[in-house]
Amino acid sequence: SGALYVDYIFTDKVTSPPHDSFVFFTEKLIYMPNHFFSKGHAMQSEVAVPTHDYVQRSDGEAHVLGTGTPQQNRCLAPPGVGPTDVSFVFCNWNKLLKNNPETVRSWIRILREVPDSILCLLENPKAGAAYLRKFVHEAAGTTDESGHFIPGDGDDLNSRIHFLTWEKNPFDHQRRNLDFCNIMLDSFPYNGHTVAQDSLY
């Protein structure tokens, strides 16, 4: 931090390798035995217990937290938008600011390689969704020799990218993992912290 009022930092040997980390910190390093970032999932009654079982719901029935499979819930996409028979649901619950162009381009490649898959993101911030869609549209296209933009499959890709609204209760975010996510795609290089742990639990 460089702040004179911070004396110690809790870390681990992967995050802050002992042989050279001392040059990057003004604080003294306190090494935790396994990792520095921990949450009390097992101690918090509000956290959903890990399970591989889905609570089924009837087709046409409105989604209720804790029901349906990720394929069935389709990231709450409107009817007629994106594939109706979803093969797989990728997700990323990080704030949109963590996703650089390289990360979003990797998502485009993944969606292209997995037919009828969708990507479920968190609308955080809400204004960022439009910018991400614009980037996907432009990144999917090419330019001709005259410099004119030639649209690619950006519209199709955007129909397979959906956003969940921000929940004020962090435990609701954790509970949504089972409902809306087959596998989490982390961000790079600014990766997930809380949401990554929530998805692993």
The per-residue pLDDT for range 167-179, each reduced to its tens digit, is 776 677 777 888 8
Q: Name the nearest CA neighbour of 131 among 94, 175, 96.
A: 96
Total number of residues shown for the chain: 201
> Average pLDDT of the chain?
87
Q: Is 0.85 topped by the overall pTM?
A: no
Question: What average pLDDT does range 98-119 have in this prediction?
Answer: 96
> How remote is the C-alpha of 88 from its chain's centroid?
15
Give the N- to C-terminal CA distance of the chain in Å, as an integer: 30
pLDDT value at position 65? 83
Angstrom distance (rounded) from CA 10 to CA 28? 9
Angstrom distance (rounded) from CA 162 to CA 84? 13
